[in-house]
């Protein structure tokens, strides 16, 4: 890809490829020609979800219909609100930019949430320092990751944005749990940015251009790998001879161990129920050991619902197809032994 020298330069080292108003399909198609800030976090293995192999399949044009779900939806809905609050608190001015690419490395891209027109860190009243704002929304369960700085995935994203754009620094505003607002600044880190640049170039040449799928990191979000496999193989047919049985036996042993652990847990629960002998609160040395408390949960009789209220059943109930591994009876027995 040639450098976008004819496009409008919007930061010291980046030109605008698409405006912020571009439709999603156009944006997805454009960003497949390079690596963005969310991609780099996956490439170096610090993303909250997915990994390098997901980026690879996206860049080679295999439609995966990626949907980050409710978290991504609410992040998009709250983005403008958080950005406006950052402006109010910092008495600043921002604007939307869209997708940009580095003029010297056009495959290095990023979508800036907002470009800051008046930086609150300006010294001696000079607020013209070039910078941007990254907006995040996060679950309250991840609040601990924001105590001192930003999490690794956000650090990788913002350093990549700075590297692509040549901006002085990146402001970060995050809304945690819907009511905990925090803000910080990510400044230049030459060593980390050099590392990101090296890994990005290596990934693009050795995998995307060479059409070589990266290794699957089975310890890093394995549920995302199962989801990727399901999207790559929408229909499973035929037979395949295995070269070895080791991985199958490991799965069989883990499945057997999980089943044995669940049975042991239920046996232990039965022992505690008998010890409780009708009491609700059980103490040891004057301290509460456990509470045997009633719990309720809603159950739905789908057959009865379909019989009495067929319209409601049709409107509210849907079948979800998924693949599961079903071991042969012989391997299940071996796993137990």
Domain coordinates in residue numbering, the chain: 9-215, 246-292+301-336
Q: Token pair of 318, please?
A: 């849907």
Host H or E run for residue 194:
helix 190-203
The rounded distance, in Å, linking the Cα atoms of 272 and 258 is 21
* Structure confidence at residue 78 (pLDDT): 87
The candidate with the shortest Cα–Cα distance to 161, out of 182, 128, 130, is 130
Q: pLDDT, tens digit, for every residue of 81-114? A: 999 999 999 999 999 999 999 999 999 999 999 9
**Positive or negative, the Cα torsion across 48, 53, 56, 58?**
negative
The candidate with the shortest Cα–Cα distance to 55, out of 31, 74, 39, 37, is 39
* Distance between first and last Cα of the chain: 58
* Structure confidence at residue 267 (pLDDT): 96
CATH no., domain 9-215:
3.90.320.10
| Block residue for tokens 């030459």 | 190
* Structure confidence at residue 2 (pLDDT): 42
The pTM of the full predicted model, rounded to 2 decimals, is: 0.82
Question: Contact at 8 Å (CB) between 139 and 71?
Answer: yes
Question: Contact at 8 Å (CB) between 4 and 33?
Answer: no
Q: pLDDT, tens digit, for every residue of 17-53? A: 999 999 988 988 899 999 999 999 999 999 988 999 9
The rounded distance, in Å, linking the Cα atoms of 60 and 62 is 6
**What DSSP character marks residue 241?**
-
* Structure confidence at residue 206 (pLDDT): 96
Please give the chain's pLDDT, 337 residues, in tens.
444 545 788 999 999 999 999 998 898 889 999 999 999 999 999 998 899 999 999 999 876 665 566 777 777 888 999 999 999 999 999 999 999 999 999 999 999 999 998 888 876 556 667 899 999 999 888 888 888 789 999 999 999 999 999 999 999 999 999 899 999 999 999 999 999 999 999 999 999 999 999 999 998 889 999 888 888 887 888 888 888 888 899 989 999 999 999 999 999 999 999 999 999 999 999 999 999 999 998 999 999 999 999 999 999 998 887 778 888 888 888 888 7
């Amino acid at each position: 890809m040639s450098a976008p020298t004819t496009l409008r330069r919007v930061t010291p080292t980046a030109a605008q490829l698409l405006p912020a108003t571009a439709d999603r399909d156009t944006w997805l198609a454009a960003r497949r020609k390079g690596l963005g800030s969310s991609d780099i976090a996956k490439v170096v293995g610090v993303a909250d979800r997915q990994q390098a192999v997901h980026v690879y399949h996206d860049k080679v044009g295999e439609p995966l219909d990626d949907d980050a779900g409710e978290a991504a939806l609410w992040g998009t809905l709250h983005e403008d609100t958080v950005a406006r609050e950052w402006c109010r608190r910092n008495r600043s001015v921002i604007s939307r930019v869209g997708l940009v690419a580095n003029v010297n490395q056009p495959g290095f891209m990023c979508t800036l949430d907002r470009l800051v027109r008046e930086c609150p860190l300006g010294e001696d009243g000079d607020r013209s320092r070039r910078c941007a704002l990254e907006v995040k929304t996060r679950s309250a369960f991840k609040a601990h990751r924001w105590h001192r700085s930003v999490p690794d995935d956000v650090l990788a994203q913002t350093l990549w944005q700075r590297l692509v754009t040549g901006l002085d620094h990146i402001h970060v505003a995050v809304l945690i749990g819907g009511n905990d607002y925090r803000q910080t600044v990510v400044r230049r880190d030459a060593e980390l940015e050099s590392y990101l640049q090296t890994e990005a170039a290596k990934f693009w040449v050795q995998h995307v251009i060479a059409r070589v799928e990266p290794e699957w990191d089975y310890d890093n979000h394995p549920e995302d790998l199962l989801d990727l496999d399901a999207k790559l193989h929408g229909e499973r047919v035929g037979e395949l001879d295995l070269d070895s049985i080791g991985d199958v036996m490991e799965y069989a042993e883990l499945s057997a161990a999980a089943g044995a652990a669940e049975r042991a847990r239920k046996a232990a629960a039965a022992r505690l129920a008998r010890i409780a002998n009708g009491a609700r609160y059980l103490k040891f040395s004057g301290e509460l050991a456990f509470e045997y408390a009633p719990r309720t949960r809603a159950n739905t009789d789908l057959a009865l619902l379909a019989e009495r209220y067929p319209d409601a059943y049709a409107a509210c109930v849907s079948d979800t197809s998924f693949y599961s591994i079903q071991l042969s009876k012989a391997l299940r027995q071996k796993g137990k032994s």
